[in-house]
Each structure stands twice: as structure tokens, then as C-alpha cells.
Amino acid sequence: QLETLEQEEQECLELRPHPTEKTTHIVSHEHGMTVTKTLQEGEAEPQCQGFSYSRAKLRGLLLEGASLLLLRVLARRQTMPPDLVFPAINTEGDLCTSSY
């Protein structure tokens, strides 16, 4: 029974004249998860967005770290169950599905 407690992703683009930095921070709490996205373009004020998802919507959630672990286990077992689909959170912070 593995559970993601916290995850942070950071993406930097060195575009001239306005470098862009995008950060996504995901935190688990007793009611579900909160996703906070921050976008910083050049010297402009950072733009922040937040999303919250209930535990019911996230049942079986597979985030990036857990996905890597699952892929290693499947490779080690050399087997792939049919129709393997999990809820996931995409790079925009929206709920989606991840299929293998």
C-alpha cells in the first residue's frame, strides 16, 4: 500500500528574452490532494493556480514516482495485465487517466 504524500515538479525554459519557470506542487491531506501551479515568465509577477481533489476522485491515483515504480515492477515480472488504467494528474494539474 504505497501513497504519495508530496510531489514537486519544476520545469525551466531558457527562452530569450523571457525565461519561463513552471512549478507544480502536489500535497496529500486527510480530505484528498491539493495541486498548486506557479508560472513565472521573465520578471513578471508569478501566476498561481490551485486545485483540490477529494479522496473519492483520487482512489487509485498514480503520480509520477509511483508510475516509475510500477513500470519497474512490470518489467521485472515481464508481464503486463490487460487494460491497466489509473487516475493521474497531468502537467496542467487536471485529473486524467494513465493507460499502460
For the chain, the distance separating the N- and C-terminal CA atoms, rounded to the nearest angstrom, is 20
Tell me how far apart the alpha carbons of residues 95 and 58 are, in angstroms, rounded to a whole number. Answer: 9
pLDDT at 94: 82
The alpha carbon dihedral of 28, 61, 92, 43 has a sign of positive
> What pLDDT, in 10s, does the model give residues 65-76?
788 888 898 889
Classify residue 1: in a domain, yes or no: no
> What pLDDT, in 10s, does the model give residues 35-67?
999 999 988 899 999 989 998 888 888 887 788
Give, in order, the Cα–Cα distances in Å from 73 to each of 2, 35, 69. Answer: 13, 27, 6
Classify residue 93: in a domain, yes or no: yes
Q: Which amino acid is at 29?
A: H
pLDDT at 1: 65
Classify residue 56: in a domain, yes or no: yes
Classify residue 58: in a domain, yes or no: yes
Count of structural domains, the chain: 1
Confidence category of residue 25, pLDDT binned at 50, 70, 90: very high
Q: Which domain holds residue 19?
A: 6-99
What is this structure's pTM?
0.74
Classify residue 94: in a domain, yes or no: yes
